Amino acid sequence: MKPLIIANWKMNPSNSKDAFDLAKAVVRGLEGVKADVVLCPPFVYVAQLLPSSNVFIGAQDCFWVQEGAYTGEVSPQMLKNLGCSYVIFGHSERKKLGETTEMTAKKTQAALLASLVPVVCIGEHIEEEMKSILKGIAPKDVSQIIFVYEPEWAISTQPHARPATPKEAQAAFKKMCSLLPKTTSLLYGGSVNSKDIKGFIEAGAQGALVGAASLDAQEFIQLAKNSISR
């Protein structure tokens, strides 16, 4: 199976030219590379970044209703109509802004209804978080969701951040797998770079959610290349 590498650009870059240039460099650098890559830019750049044959476009969040009187929100259906394929939910930075696991669960269900692939971040309370997400999902849909083990302390912008060790990631994957069908994809997220990606793949990750390293085209391209098992 091809690795899946998802770029979370967060609230970067600050203008659409830089966003376009970054995406263009990544698409060029990944020509012929046998990895699936998803770029998740801020909403305002989504429409301008067209997906290519192995670089998909995703969003960093969306609402749980498809249309209506919800000021400031963006719906899964709108993203789908723009050409998005993936959407990230449950990121610890959103939780700090008030997103609860119940909200993440509703968003996950709405994204599936719009045929988007939900990429759901799971932190330290693996069982509790996963059970709340899974209870509203039909068994046939569970393997459509991509779960990411992303402990908050591993995110590069945290003070004293360090990536999880492959052993720690493996222990987390084991807990996650016990709640999921065998066909579900698990990713690792938290300070991943081109040098340590291989260890996470060997520990059982199908790929990674990448923050800081996704803003440097060459580093990100190398990371995607190094995720391929030879």
What lies within 8 Å, CB to CB, of 4 at 6+ separation is 35, 36, 37, 38, 146, 185, 187, 206, 207
Based on the shown chain and the rule CB under 6 A, indicate whether residue 211 belongs to the binding site for ligand PEP: yes
Based on the shown chain and the rule CB under 6 A, indicate whether residue 197 belongs to the binding site for ligand PEP: no
Asked about 160 being catalytic, the answer comes back as no
Residue ranges of alpha helices (H) inside 32-125 are 43-46, 76-82, 92-95, 101-113
> Cα-flanking dihedrals φ and ψ of residue 218, to 5°?
-65, -45
Q: Of 91, 125, 128, 160, which one is the catalytic site residue?
A: 91
Contact 62, 110 (CB under 8 A): yes
Tell me whether residue 203 is exposed, middle or buried, using C-beta atoms within 10 angstroms of its C-beta: 0 to 12, 13 to 18, 19 or more: buried
Closer residue to ligand PEP in complex, CB, 55/154: 154
Terminal Cα distance for the chain, rounded: 12
Quick one: which segment of 29-37, 53-61, 74-82, 187-195 binds ligand PEP (CB under 6 A)?
187-195
Closer residue to ligand PEP in complex, CB, 130/208: 208
The sign of the dihedral angle between the CA atoms of 132, 124, 84, 230 is negative
Footprint of ligand PEP on 133-162 (CB under 6 A)? 150, 155-156
Based on the shown chain and the rule CB under 6 A, indicate whether residue 223 belongs to the binding site for ligand PEP: no
Each residue 63-102 as x (binds ligand PEP by CB under 6 A) or -, in order, gives ----------------------------x-----------
Using the rule CB under 6 A, which residue among 3, 189, 199, 207 binds ligand PEP?
A: 189
Contact 179, 210 (CB under 8 A): no
Contact 210, 8 (CB under 8 A): yes
Based on the shown chain and the rule CB under 6 A, indicate whether residue 210 belongs to the binding site for ligand PEP: yes
Asked about 150 being catalytic, the answer comes back as yes
Closer residue to ligand PEP in complex, CB, 141/216: 216
Tell me how far the alpha carbon of residue 115 is from its chain's centroid: 16
Residue 117 DSSP SS3: strand
Based on the shown chain and the rule CB under 6 A, indicate whether residue 111 belongs to the binding site for ligand PEP: no
Quick one: which segment of 22-30, 49-57, 165-173, 189-197 binds ligand PEP (CB under 6 A)?
189-197
Quick one: which segment of 70-78, 94-102, 123-131, 203-211 binds ligand PEP (CB under 6 A)?
203-211
Q: Of 67, 150, 152, 219, which one is the catalytic site residue?
A: 150
Residues that bind ligand PEP (CB under 6 A): 8, 91, 150, 155-156, 189-192, 209-213
